[in-house]
Chain A
Amino acid sequence: MSTIQSLDKPLVIEPLASLLPRISIPSLGNLPARFGRIGLGIIFPLLLLYLWQIATERVWLPPQLLPEPAFVWETLVDMVSSGELAGHLAVSLQRVLWSVLIGGSIGLAIGFAMGLSKTAKAYLYPSFSLFSQFPVIAWSPLMIIFFGIDEALKISTITVAVIVPFAVATYKGIENVPVKLREVGQIYQFSFAQTLWRIALPAALPAILGGVRQGAMQAWLALVFVELLASSEGLGYLLVYARNLMQLDVVMVCMATIGLVGLIFDFALGFIERHFSRWAPKGR
């Protein structure tokens, strides 16, 4: 944890790096142990599945509330093969992409401004830290009034969610650039652009990539929320629609898809982050 803690508190989940599986080449020695561990991890889901099957066979709960596992699987296969799931997923991913691009640019700009210039920090920081404490969710009713319930609503809400993690990560990344590096830049009389491209950006890159991952996770969280709130297409819409028709099989398929996308985001961006952190400057 770094010294400025108050800024990253709202909404930002500190990734617990120790909990992420590390990619390593297993030696033959620990292979059985690895398989043993994976085997143990599978027992519990299988047990749940079995319990689910029994519960539906004996009708412990009405089938509307607990559809049969086989039925949920059929729904999944149907929705994948008909392209319905892919269609909604594409809409949702597009929204996230645009928001990350827009919000990411704004966040980077704010972060760079606050990190590089003391004057900009004096003007921006108090307002920004106030802004970062407001949950994105609280913004959404106001956004509905301003933007209606169309695409603009989703993009703007998710964008707001993305700005804070990007800006915080960038700002901290630049602030933590070793003083030695800055001094070298001063000695060589680097211009502002040179300082930015040759010193600030490379040194802050690992931190910024951390911000990218958190921003993407926040975007995904906000996307699901805003699509649940008001939408006519996308995964969140499908969730609400299926829930209102009590098609819990579709609800479960949507939840699994949302989880899978979150997982892929986390792994892919975490992988990139670790890849670039290897050459991060260690000293201060």
Chain B
Amino acid sequence: MASLKDKLPAIDPRGFVLPLLLIVVWQAVTSSGWVDTRIIMPPSAVLSAGWKWLNSGLALESIGASLFRDASGFVLGAAAGITIGLLFGTSKLANNVFGPTFHTLKHISIFAWIPLLSAFFGRDDLAKIVFIAFATLYPVALATIEGVRSIAKSQYEVADVYGFTPRQALFRLILPAASPQIITGLHLGLIFAWLATMGAEFLLASTGEGLGMTVIRGRAAFRVDLIIFGMLIIGAFGMLLNELATRAESRLLHWRGHAR
């Protein structure tokens, strides 16, 4: 195990200049009264509003509700995406019959599905989770197709020689061999799922709780402090998910070594 100092990259202080400058300017213009502080709140107001919100118990509920939607949609979408990807990757017939429809539909921006989904599923959790699953499905499926197609012919021949059953071929050859791409697709899917969670909560704001809905209600009530704080939390969770996915990816793919 390397020491912590070795693992951390050298930090260049010049990187802090811009963010600090931003905060200083922000604080300066708000405290000097050059701008309407109802629209541009001072950083301290944002922090105190955020602190109050975090302590209110509402925060935990909102974050929990959003993460629950995100996770349910992601799991459903990832399972469907891998299944579709395996089907398209292994069966030429399936690819020829369903492929063109599948690849044409992917050009419809995901958010354009929201009005139609809301007509069918309402504005509650069901519609949101279906939408998140849908947003996850495409990157996962596309990556899985790529992964399955990149398996070398010789690997299939070995499986043939050993007389693998289809089941064995799936679990011993196809899934392991395609796993790098599948995991990359899952990583991308995770980012998309979070994006879709926020999009769904903004566009399908209903009576429930959620990070996105807190922010969008903050907008309706003109609570700029809450909006900014909510944005920071949304971004922080996005980064956290991304970081976790990156770590999981490198750990899961450790067996491949560094050679590409």
Q: Report the nearest A residue to B233, measured CB to CB.
A: A138
B8-32 interface with A by 8 A CB criterion: 12, 14-19
Residue of B100, B109, B114, B234 touching A138 (CB-CB under 8 A)? B234
Question: Which parts of A191-225 form the interface with B (CB within 8 Å)?
Answer: 220-221, 223-225
Check B109 against A125 for contact (C-beta < 8 Å).
no
Chain B residues bordering chain A, tally (CB within 8 A): 62
Most buried by B among A123, A145, A242: A145
Majority SS at the chain A contact face: helix
Nearest B residue (CB) for A48: B101
B101 to nearest A CB, angstroms?
A: 5
Instruction: Assess the B112–A243 pair: CB atoms within 8 A.
Output: no
A126 in contact with B235 (CB, 8 Å): no
Contact between A242 and B115, CB atoms less than 8 A apart:
yes
Q: Is the CB of B115 within 8 A of A239?
A: yes
Q: Is A19 an interface residue (CB 8 A)?
A: yes
Question: Among B109, B120, B222, B227, which residue has the most Cβ atoms of chain A within 10 A?
Answer: B109
Q: Is the CB of B238 within 8 A of A10?
A: yes
Please name all residues of chain A whose beta carbon is closer than 8 Å to the beta carbon of B222 when the two chains form the complex.
145
- Contact residue among A40, A125, A135, A248 (Cβ-Cβ distance under 8 Å from B96): A40
Docked complex Cα distance between A141 and B235 (Å): 14
Task: Return the CB mask of A121-132 against B: 1 if under 8 Å, else 0.
Answer: 011111100100
Distance (Å) between the CB of A83 and the closest chain B CB?
21
Give the residues in chain B near A45, CB-CB below 8 Å. Answer: 100-101
Query: Which of A13, A38, A127, A262 contacts B15 (CB under 8 A)?
Result: A127
Are A134 and B238 neighbours in the complex by a CB distance under 8 Å? Answer: yes
- Contact pattern, B 84-109, Cβ under 8 Å of A = 1, otherwise 0: 00000000010011111101110111
How far, in whole Å, are A137 and B135 apart by their CA atoms in the complex? 14
| A123–B238 CB distance below 8 A | no
Write the chain B residue with the least CB distance to A243: B115
* Contact of A135 (CB < 8 Å), options: B17, B104, B105, B195: B195
- Whether B203 and A229, one on each chain, are in contact in the complex, defined by CB atoms closer than 8 angstroms, is yes
B151 CB within 8 Å of chain A: no
Q: How far is the CB of B191 from chain A (nearest CB, A)?
A: 6
Is A259 an interface residue when CB atoms closer than 8 A count as contact?
yes
Q: Write out the residue numbers on chain B whose beta carbons fall within 8 Å of the beta carbon of A175.
A: none
Q: Mark B209-248, 1 if CB is under 8 A from A, else 0.
A: 0000001101100101001101100110011001000100
Given contacts A9-B191, A13-B139, A44-B98, contact A142 B109 (CB under 8 A): no
Query: Contacting chain B: which of A68-76, A177-185, A249-257, A273-281?
Result: A249-257
In chain A, positions 9-39 with a C-beta closer than 8 Å to chain B are 9-11, 13-14, 16, 18-19, 37-38
CB proximity to B under 8 Å, residues A52-93: 65
Instruction: From B55-63, B71-79, B141-149, give the one contacting chain A.
Output: B141-149
- Asked if A269 lies at the interface with its beta carbon under 8 angstroms from chain B, I say no
Residue of A nearest to B187 (CB): A9
Contact across chains for B101 and A135 when beta carbons are under 8 A apart: no
Are A123 and B112 within 8 A (Cβ)?
Answer: no
- Nearest CB in chain B: distance from A110 CB, A: 12
Closest chain-B Cβ to A264's Cβ sits at a distance in Å of 9
B68 within 8 A of A: no
Check if B83 is an interface residue, CB within 8 A of chain A: no
Kindly name the residue among B17, B101, B115, B203 whose own CB sees the greatest number of chain A CB atoms within 10 A.
B115
Q: Is A133 part of the binding interface, using a Cβ–Cβ cutoff of 8 Å?
A: yes
Q: Determine the distance from Cα of A185 to Cα of B18 in the docked complex, in whole angstroms.
A: 32
**B252 adjacent to chain A (CB < 8 Å):** no
Kindly provide the distance from the CB of A146 to the nearest chain B CB, expressed in whole angstroms.
7
**A134-B235, A228-B114 known, 20 other contacts, Cβ within 8 Å:** A9-B187, A13-B188, A16-B142, A19-B145, A122-B12, A123-B18, A126-B19, A135-B238, A137-B198, A138-B215, A141-B219, A141-B227, A141-B230, A142-B231, A144-B219, A224-B109, A224-B111, A248-B116, A251-B119, A258-B109
6 A-B residue pairs with Cβ-Cβ distance under 8 Å, sorted by A, are A42-B100, A141-B230, A221-B111, A224-B109, A224-B111, A229-B203
